[in-house]
Amino acid sequence: MTTRAHARPLAMRRTGAVLLGVIAVVALLAPWIAPNPPDRRFPNLLYAPPTPVHAFDAHGVAPHAHALRIVSRIERSFEEEPASRGPMLLLGADAYGRDIFSRLLYGARTTLGLAVCATLAATLLGALVGGIAGYASGWLDAVLARLSEFVLVLPAIYVALALRAVMPLVLAASTVFTLLLAIFALLGWPMVARGVRAIVASEREREYVIAARAAGASASRVLLRHLLPAAAGYLRTQATLLLPAFILAEATLSYIGLGFPDTTPTWGTMLQEAANVALLGDAPWTLAPAAAIFFVVLSVNLFVQGTGRPPIQLER
């Protein structure tokens, strides 16, 4: 009984970590794994279903797919032609006949890359601001505390929406990346800063800090080398909360057309394919990016719950 109760969180944490590792490796290796270039259009395969993969041919092991032939353009029904080979579409094709699986892999790089960068930026900014506020105390502390409370109370997605919407609607992908990174970092830091401030404010009275100061360490050295390490565990916790929130924020903004340009594959822009209700029922594979988001968030939550906390993320 006790062993099971202890074993389960550990197993959950490991499962979460392994899943996240696999996702990261797959995203990094996208150009080598993807069966098709992400922008390649197959004009005769609009909304084509996933193709069955055949592992062997006459010469041995050689994964391949048979060509698909349109039976009816109106009903979008296809049939396999065993005689000829065609593009391998593991998750079907989208409205332009592009391979959803390949786009999903390339999209992971943008979506997850942005989320990871934004998490790092928000955590660093929050640690710095919270550390300074907790160490300085006095009026600076009070001003920073009010500021972070104000940002915390606003529903983040509306602020992100407003900040993004007031920029020019059409921007290059790299500009969008930087812009969203800045917006996410600005919205994420107060969550981190509040806790770091409390930790630093209580730690600064401890003997080791007084000793460090007595030994002549400067304020910045005490803060960076002695106080912030005390908040390391807290920072990790906050990072696991921010990461899924940022993945979702990118998906939401791109889905509503205020994120990356439509041509850039990200999980959010790909979800736009699912916006057409009439087509969604016939082409459920356009929901693949939603499943991908779910798996990443689930992996993070498995990892988090394995550490003994309920995975509470008020997506704000």
Partner 1 sequence: MVPFLIRRAIFAIVLLVCTSSTALFLTRLAPGDVTSQLGPTASRDEIDSTRARFDLNRNPLAQWMLWSGRAVRLDFGDSFLYNQPVGPLVVRAAGNTAVLALVALAIASVAGIALGIVSGSRQGRSVAAAVGGVSLVGVSMPPLLTSLLLVFVAARTGWLPPGGMSSANASDMGWAAWMLDVAWHLPLPALALAVPIAAMFERLQSQSMSEAVQQPFVVAAIARGVSTRDVILRHAWPVSLRPLCAVYGLVIGALLSGSFIVEYVTAWPGIGRLMYEALRARDIYLVAACAAMGAVFLAIGTLTGDLLLAASDPRVREGDA
Does 305 bind partner 1 (CB under 8 A)? Our answer is yes
Shorter beta-carbon distance to partner 1: residue 138 or 310: 310
3-state secondary structure the chain: CHHHHHHHHHHHHHHHHHHHHHHHHHHHCHHHHCCCCCCCCCCCCCCCCCCCEEEEECCEEEEEEEEEEEEECCCCEEEEEEEEEECCCCCCECCCCCEHHHHHHHHHHHHHHHHHHHHHHHHHHHHHHHHHHHHHCHHHHHHHHHHHHHHHHCCHHHHHHHHHHCCCCCCCHHHHHHHHHHHHHHHHHHHHHHHHHHHHHHHCCCHHHHHHHHCCCCHHHHHHHHHHHHHHHHHHHHHHHHHHHHHHHHHHHHHCCCCCCCCCCCHHHHHHHHHCHHHHCCCHHHHHHHHHHHHHHHHHHHHHHHCCCCCCCCCC
Does 168 bind partner 1 (CB under 8 A)? Our answer is yes
CB of 312 to partner 1, least distance (A): 6
Instruction: Compose the 209-248 pattern: x for residues touching partner 1 by CB under 8 A, - for all others.
Output: -----------------------------------x---x
Shorter beta-carbon distance to partner 1: residue 136 or 287: 287
CB of 261 to partner 1, least distance (A): 16
Does 169 bind partner 1 (CB under 8 A)? Our answer is yes
**Interface pick for partner 1 out of 15, 44, 175, 252 (rule CB under 8 A):** 252
Shorter beta-carbon distance to partner 1: residue 6 or 206: 6
Shorter beta-carbon distance to partner 1: residue 28 or 171: 171
**Interface pick for partner 1 out of 19, 28, 151, 290 (rule CB under 8 A):** 290
Q: Which residues bind partner 1 (CB under 8 A)?
A: 1, 4-5, 150, 153-158, 161-163, 165-169, 244, 248, 251-252, 255-256, 271, 274-275, 277-278, 280-281, 284, 287, 290, 293-294, 297-298, 301-302, 305, 310-316
